[in-house]
A and B are shown apart, each in its own frame.
Chain A
Amino acid sequence: MITRAAKLISLYARVNIQNLAAYRFDMYMRIVVSILHLISELMGVWIIFHGTRSVRGWQWQHMLVLVGVYRLVAGGIRIAIVPNMRRLLEDIRNGTLDFVLLRPVNSQFLVSIREVVVYRVADVLLGIFVAGYGCYALRGALPFRESVEFALMLAAGFAIVYAVWLMLGTLCFWFVRVQNIEMVFWNVFEAGRFPIDIYRPQVRWLLTYVIPLAFITTVPAAALIGDEAKIPPSAPLWGFALAGIMLFVSNRFWHFGLRHYSGASA
């Protein structure tokens, strides 16, 4: 079963790469925009640390790690999560979700793998480079244990984002037009560019437990930095528990939503 899933994922990725060939100019432009975004984010760090050495315990090296993680996560979200959910919204609105539901494959799995924007890997690579450089500037090496912990926290972060998006996408079964949700998501996600510690306690609480943004950028970045002062020791456990719960809830919500699918002009 896992082999079949892997086969389907690679097949759809291949089809998407073939599609990409038809829109090369668009691809180049988007890579340039990604680089410009990264430069503006690094400029932000430079401006902040031009006159100070530390912001709430975060030095410029720490901030480089966070900016790198932010770019990496944003890239990861843009590779598969957002494109697939965008297509899901279109499919629900146009009634073309019919073709997904007619396939003998788990519908949630299929709606989550059909779109892969391969060139967004550039964001991921840029993010890894900047985060890796920040880490190296801090310690002179990339610590193995922290890197593994970071990878695990990153996976939990992606799972949380995926679950949030699946639930937002599922809302489309009732509200049909929820395209603006993407704009809201990115505006909220922007807050993840800064460490969660710099916000006031109420906002910090909100961004940890209500909109679990902390687990998406700050917690993985802190895991890579390896500074326990930046995250409580229980944070990774919370992150995993939250990811598990959200994946379960989003899966149930998806199946509930499917019952309300009415297609278009049915």
Chain B
Amino acid sequence: MTQIQVRNLSKVFRVPEREGGFVASLRSVFRRKYRQVNAVDDVSFTVAQGEIVGFLGPNGAGKTTTLKMMSGLLHPTSGECRVMGHVPWRREAAYLRKISMLMGQRSQMAWDLPPMDSFLVHGAVYDIPRKQYESTLDELVELLDLKDILKKQVRTLSLGERMKCEICISLLHRPQVLFLDEPTIGVDITMQARIRDFVAGYNRRYGATIILTSHYMADVTALCKRIIVIDHGHILFDGQLGELSAKLAPFKVIKIDLDREMDGYDFAALGDIILCEGRKVAIRVPKKSAPSVTDRLLSEVPVLDLTIEDPPIEDVIARAFGQRRLGDVTGDASEARVPAAESAS
């Protein structure tokens, strides 16, 4: 069943701009110039109930703006959107009770109070029946392991602990649609994994629809079967994750710390050099050759530390697409851009 329907959605921001320097600054006081920025440009897709969809794209691609229009925070310049039958930006109470938005970079907790107080306010604002509030809170406290931090001031919590509280408060009213904007940003790897598990579990238990944006490839690969890639406000790709990874990320990044500088060594022969400064080197290599390159490095240079990582999503997308549409890259736009309605059904 289709739960989110987005058709020809666009958002244009009017942004002031000026040249650098004192004179330009004075001039802008009297005559300000504006530039139109098409943050989201004619975007269409649908999402079925219970789907977890990952929104990918570099900074400023339009992911968060799209999310904000779907959650009702922003009015679009043009286009339509229906979420569970509601027009989001009318912000009807009935709609807002059914959704939640978690922003990894912003906190909705009262800074000077223990989390429990923020939870109580949230319960009252959403008018959650007492029994349901208590049972949901108990469940979330158990699942997120919050018991020991409920009475601490939020300002004294670690980033990971605070993020768990943010998740808890976002889910207290049991939303049916969850917008997650960078939910794992800044937290350590263990916590990232726990958050992912929790989100996946919530989706299974309540059949909730989840839209996720993240810079971490691992978030997306662990949670989303379907992804939508946005760049410059356009949808570049909408389809199964498997298709995209195969097309876009067939390489790894090997980072090494050396015991001493190796000026004469030809790192370029191993792959694309991303970084080569003093004793730190990072090389991008095809996925298949990562083991052999690692072997070579370990045997030929004095390695202190070595890590093999997936390249950042932004790099993957920028490298694969540049300024072009996916169709230009693959040679067939109609085939590459999987219509959302088909993939959702």
Chain A residues, CB < 8 A from B108? 96, 99
Report the count of interface residues on B (CB-CB < 8 A).
Answer: 32
Contact among A102, A259, A262 with B13 in the assembled complex (CB-CB below 8 Å)? A262
Chain B residues, CB < 8 A from A101? 72-73, 91
* CB atoms of A98 and B73 under 8 A apart: yes
Is B124 engaged at the interface, CB distance under 8 Å to the other chain? yes
B-contact bits for A100-144, CB 8 A (1 contact / 0 none): 011111010010000000000000000000000000000000000
- Name the distance in Å between B222's Cβ and chain A's nearest Cβ: 26
Contact among A18, A103, A266 with B125 in the assembled complex (CB-CB below 8 Å)? A103
* CB atoms of A11 and B121 under 8 A apart: yes
A97 to chain B: closest residue by CB:
B73
B39 to chain A: closest residue by CB:
A266
Chain B contacts with A in 89-131, Cβ cutoff 8 A: 91, 93-97, 99-101, 103, 106, 108, 110, 112-113, 117, 120-121, 124-127
- Name the distance in Å between A244's Cβ and chain B's nearest Cβ: 26
Chain B residues, CB < 8 A from A7? 124
Is B64 engaged at the interface, CB distance under 8 Å to the other chain? yes
* CB atoms of A8 and B112 under 8 A apart: no
Is B68 engaged at the interface, CB distance under 8 Å to the other chain? yes
**Interface of chain A: mostly helix, strand, loop or mixed:** helix
Chain B residues, CB < 8 A from A96? 106, 108
Chain B residues, CB < 8 A from A102? 71-73, 96, 99-101
Is B157 engaged at the interface, CB distance under 8 Å to the other chain? no
* CB atoms of A98 and B97 under 8 A apart: no
* CB atoms of A259 and B75 under 8 A apart: yes
Assess A105 versus B125: contact at CB under 8 Å? Given A98-B101, A262-B74, A266-B39: yes
Is B65 engaged at the interface, CB distance under 8 Å to the other chain? yes
Is A40 engaged at the interface, CB distance under 8 Å to the other chain? no
A103 to chain B: closest residue by CB:
B125
A101 to chain B: closest residue by CB:
B73
* CB atoms of A107 and B91 under 8 A apart: yes
A261 to B91, CA, bound (A): 14
Chain B residues, CB < 8 A from A261? 73-74
- Name the distance in Å between B229's Cβ and chain A's nearest Cβ: 19
Q: Of B73, B103, B110, which is in contact with the most chain A CB atoms at under 10 Å from its CB?
A: B73
Chain A residues, CB < 8 A from B72? 101-102
Assess A8 versus B125: contact at CB under 8 Å? Given A98-B103, A102-B73, A266-B39: yes
Chain A residues, CB < 8 A from B99? 102
B-contact bits for A242-266, CB 8 A (1 contact / 0 none): 0000000000000000010111011
Chain B residues, CB < 8 A from A12? 121
Assess A265 versus B121: contact at CB under 8 Å? Given A19-B112, A102-B101: no
Is A95 engaged at the interface, CB distance under 8 Å to the other chain? yes
- Name the distance in Å between B327's Cβ and chain A's nearest Cβ: 28
A135 to B100, CA, bound (A): 54
* CB atoms of B101 and A266 under 8 A apart: no
Chain B residues, CB < 8 A from A11? 120-121, 124
A19 to B155, CA, bound (A): 13
B11 to chain A: closest residue by CB:
A266
Chain A residues, CB < 8 A from B106? 94-96, 98-99
Assess A22 versus B13: contact at CB under 8 Å? Given A101-B73, A263-B73: no
A48 to B103, CA, bound (A): 58
* CB atoms of A266 and B68 under 8 A apart: yes
- Name the distance in Å between B331's Cβ and chain A's nearest Cβ: 35
Chain B residues, CB < 8 A from A103? 96, 125-126
Give 4 nearest A-B pairs by CB, closest first: A104-B93, A104-B96, A99-B108, A104-B97
17 more CB-based (< 8 A) A-B contacts, given A262-B13, A265-B64: A4-B127, A8-B125, A15-B110, A18-B113, A19-B113, A22-B112, A96-B108, A101-B73, A102-B100, A104-B97, A104-B125, A104-B127, A105-B125, A107-B91, A110-B125, A259-B75, A263-B74
Q: List 10 A-B contacts (CB under 8 A).
A: A4-B127, A12-B121, A19-B113, A94-B106, A96-B108, A98-B73, A99-B106, A102-B71, A103-B125, A104-B93
Residues of B that sit less than 8 Å from A by CB: 13, 39, 64-65, 68, 71-75, 91, 93-97, 99-101, 103, 106, 108, 110, 112-113, 117, 120-121, 124-127
